[in-house]
């Protein structure tokens, strides 16, 4: 039998366990071209809140369907020429013990041999790719520039900040709470702002005296507004996410400081990492090299048990998670 979390209703405000329904169903038989995967780890990402609320860059998860999620697991059986039994893979596999998928529609890819699964789902997965392409393609950092990053202790923000350091930039991180700020400092950021204990606008003036050349935004809301007020001439704002607004029940107004873009001849551009997914083979070896050199660090926060998946997702929005949020649901079968 296969345990599955199905979407029971559209969330109203903060996501909760009541928005899902846990069921057990038989594992369907494979058809030609399909692969059966036993999930080991589920990835929790802020984008999932959008996927269950409404149509975004992907159609909304339908009521009664398995909750959409990136996951990693082992191939149990394959009727697809590119995959074989025992292989470790990752893709859009959903909140369930077993997934029967078409590799193309599920973005199924092998995990690199020797790479820990938690790394493949974070710094070498969509979080690392998001940071890599968002910063380098949209932000286009130059040595000596000042880069500010919100949610700097998170999986994507911490990677973006470290890549900016690698590129010779001065990096300021914004995070919430002493533990997260301490972690950001340990990563080598030049300055850290604790938005829970400090005035972000005032601290941005202190830590970015010449303005912000690149603002990598994971949060939106008041933090984006504060960063716009400190934008340097020809500054760039990389719109990666807006976690501060994902649980709002009504559309929020745009930033009041948007005219800074005109005054400073700035640019604000959003992106979706799926636009760059066909270039993953270009980025992953670079990220892997930086990781092995100790220049790109990561940390994971693991919740155990498929039954705890909804609670793990909620941790992203109340600030409980420390780094990449994962749910471990099984151990590998190999030695």
CA angle 301, 248, 258 (to 5 degrees): 100
Q: What is the pLDDT of residue 255?
A: 86
Q: What is the pLDDT of residue 245?
A: 57
In whole angstroms, give the CA distance from residue 299 to residue 44.
14
Q: What is the pLDDT of residue 104?
A: 85
Q: Which residues contact 152 (CB under 8 A, 6 or more apart)?
A: 158, 161, 173, 174, 175, 180, 184, 189, 192
Q: Residue 165 in 3-state DSSP? A: helix
Burial of residue 261 (CB within 10 Å: 0-12, 13-18, 19+) is middle
In whole angstroms, give the CA distance from residue 170 to residue 150.
15
Q: Residue 120 in 3-state DSSP? A: helix
Domain ranges of the chain: 2-118+299-328, 126-274
* Secondary structure E strands in the chain: 2-7, 20-25, 35-43, 70-78, 88-92, 98-101, 109-110, 146-149, 170-175, 191-194, 212-217, 231-239, 267-270, 300-304, 324-328
Burial of residue 276 (CB within 10 Å: 0-12, 13-18, 19+) is middle
Q: Residue 61 in 3-state DSSP? A: coil
**Please, how many CA atoms are within 13 Å of residue 177, restricted to the half-sphere of its CB?**
11
Mention the CATH class of domain 2-118+299-328: alpha beta
Q: What is the pLDDT of residue 266?
A: 97
In whole angstroms, give the CA distance from residue 209 to residue 199.
15
Q: What is the pLDDT of residue 318?
A: 87
The kind and range of the H/E element at 178 are helix 178-186
Residue 91: phi and psi, rounded to 5, are 170, -165
Determine how many CB atoms are found less than 10 A away from the CB of residue 142: 11
Q: What is the pLDDT of residue 328?
A: 98
Q: What is the pLDDT of residue 244?
A: 57
- pTM beyond 0.95: the answer is no
Q: What is the pLDDT of residue 231?
A: 97
CATH code of the domain made up of 126-274 = 3.40.50.720
pLDDT in single tens digits along all 335 residues of the chain: 999 999 999 999 899 999 999 999 999 899 999 999 999 999 999 999 999 998 988 999 999 999 999 999 999 999 999 999 999 999 999 999 999 999 988 899 999 888 999 999 999 999 999 999 999 999 999 999 999 999 999 999 999 999 999 999 999 999 999 999 999 999 999 999 999 999 999 999 999 999 999 999 999 989 999 999 999 999 999 999 876 555 555 666 778 898 999 999 999 999 999 999 889 999 999 999 999 999 999 999 999 999 999 999 999 988 888 899 999 999 998 65
**126-274 matches 2-118+299-328 in CATH topology:** no
């Amino acid at each position: 039998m296969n345990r599955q979390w199905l979407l029971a209703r559209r969330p109203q405000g903060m996501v909760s366990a009541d928005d899902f329904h846990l069921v057990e169903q038989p594992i369907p038989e494979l058809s030609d071209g399909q692969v059966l995967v036993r999930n080991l780890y589920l990835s929790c990402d802020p984008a999932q809140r959008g996927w269950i609320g409404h149509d975004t860059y992907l159609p909304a998860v339908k009521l009664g369907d398995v909750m959409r999620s990136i996951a990693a697991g082992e191939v149990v059986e394959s009727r697809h020429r590119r995959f074989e039994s025992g292989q470790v893979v990752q893709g859009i596999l959903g909140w369930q013990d077993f997934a029967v998928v078409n590799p193309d529609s599920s973005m199924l890819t092998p995990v690199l041999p020797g790479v820990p699964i938690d790394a493949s789902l974070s710094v070498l997965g969509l979080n690392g790719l998001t940071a890599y392409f968002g910063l380098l393609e949209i932000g286009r950092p130059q040595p000596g520039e000042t880069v500010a990053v919100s949610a700097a202790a998170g999986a994507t923000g911490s990677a973006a900040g470290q890549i900016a350091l690698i590129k010779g930039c001065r990096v300021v991180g914004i995070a919430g709470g002493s533990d997260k700020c301490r972690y950001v400092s340990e990563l080598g950021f030049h300055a850290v702002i604790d938005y829970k204990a400090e005035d972000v606008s005032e601290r941005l003036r202190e830590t970015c005296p010449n303005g912000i050349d690149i603002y990598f935004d994971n949060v939106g809301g008041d933090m984006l507004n504060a960063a716009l007020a400190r934008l340097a001439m020809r500054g760039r704002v990389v719109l990666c996410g807006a976690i501060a607004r994902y649980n709002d029940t009504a559309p929020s107004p745009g930033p009041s400081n948007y005219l800074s873009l005109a005054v400073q001849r700035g640019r604000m551009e959003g992106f979706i990492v799926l636009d760059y997914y066909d270039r993953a083979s270009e980025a992953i070896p670079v990220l892997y090299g930086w990781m092995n050199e100790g220049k790109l660090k990561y940390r994971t926060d693991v919740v155990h048990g498929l039954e705890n998946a909804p609670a793990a997702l909620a941790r992203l929005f109340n600030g409980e998670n420390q780094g990449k949020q994962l749910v471990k649901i099984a151990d590998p079968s190999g030695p």
